[in-house]
Amino acid sequence: MELAEAKRRIRERAELNAFISLTEESGPGPVVAVKDLIDVAGTVTTAGGIILPRTPAAADAPVVKRIREHGCVVVGKANLHEFAYGVTSINPHYGTVFNPHDPSRVAGGSSGGSAVAVAAGMCDWAIGSDTGGSIRIPASLCGIVGFKPERGSIDTTGVIQLAHSLDTLGPMAGSVAAAAEAYTWMSGESLEPRPVGAPRLAVPAGWVADLDGPTAEAWALVAAGLPEVQFVDRDRLFQAGLSVLLFEAAEHHRRWAIERPDQYGADVLRLIKRGFDITRDEYSSALASMPALRKEADHAMRDVDALVLPATAIVAPTAEAAYEVREPLSRFTRPFNTTGQPVVTLPAPVKGLPVGIQVVGRTNAGAVAAAAWLEQRWRALVA
């Protein structure tokens, strides 16, 4: 994509609020949108809030340096849920990020701007971050591919943290192959985006229930014939990850939340204060449980290559309804931040509002290979 064409599309769909700022960079590309909690030299990093200094970053974050080695040009800083602490990208400071499939609906969060930039053709691919589903939720609602790699795969230096024990960077793109290539540029780990054979797929037993109509219809289509496997209890994973998130986010924001509460959106401030109630003992116990939970997850998957399950329990909600949907949007994503497993989200082969499907692997390569196989298989269903 030409940079001028990317900027033209951004201007034409300005009502979607996909970007907080644009750069003055030039070059042939590839054109990349960067979530605005990652330092890009010469641009202000807002993290979607108004508390951080309005001083342009002096240097690129390591992940941005890496993609520049492959000729990438940053078109702008993508909008997000304030401080990456939410699942809707309703941002009181920079505007709600709206869904290009239906602008009355939200894009999901927290990497909503990154997802919209890809879905609306404003860039070749985008960088997002994921602490409890922040790549996979907007990828699901906007109908694109999002890849949350194994925790620790990509350097997070130069990134405004939310919960350092859970934060992960990853690419968002229009296909599994494009996401795999972008991941290689971000991390240095080469992945093969083409399937080498049919993977052994399974559904975590007892996990998938209480879906809305469109999601249930899509799930019935993609899950048909897949066996179930006993996996780690979903609620155990969800609650452990939530405790770590709440405590670490509260510690990071404590002083600002006490001294400058009026500079936060009401929903984010409420979550920060909720974290004040998590004791250090509760946090330490949840954090200490994570390696054992990952070991349990690996053992449960010893006979399968990947798990398949919905990314969200509902399709994109309207902006008016989005304040009440945190649990159904993060129900199936948060557990895999606790285990740290790699997950690719890709769109189910359905018409209408997008429905995202998660492909959970034991390794980055395994997750991408399984997702590529499903993507290839599903293309015939929507042709």
Question: 114, 134, 140, 187: which one is catalytic?
Answer: 134
Question: 89, 110, 187, 330: which one is catalytic?
Answer: 110
Q: Judging by beta carbons within 10 Å of its beta carbon (0-12, 13-18, 19+), is residue 102 exposed, middle or buried?
A: middle
* Catalytic residue flag (residue 129): no
* Catalytic residue flag (residue 110): yes
* Cα–Cα distance, 171 to 315 (Å, whole number): 21
Name the DSSP class of 226: P
Bond from prior residue into 30 cis (ω within 30 degrees of 0): yes
Scan for tokens 């990850």, then name that residue. Answer: 241
Please report which helix (H) or strand (E) contains residue 294, including its range: helix 280-300
Question: 35, 89, 148, 187: which one is catalytic?
Answer: 35
In the sheet where 19-22 sits, what is the strand order? Answer: 19-22, 73-78, 31-35, 125-130, 168-173, 145-148, 343-347, 356-361, 306-310, 201-204, 228-229
Half-sphere exposure of 225 (CA within 13 A, CB side): 3
Cα 348 to Cα 83, 202, 260, 309, distances in angstroms: 29, 16, 43, 11
Q: Judging by beta carbons within 10 Å of its beta carbon (0-12, 13-18, 19+), is residue 319 exposed, middle or buried?
A: middle
Q: What angle do CA 71, 34, 272 make, to 5 degrees?
A: 155
Structure tokens at 355: 């429905």
* Catalytic residue flag (residue 35): yes
Catalytic residues: 35, 110, 134
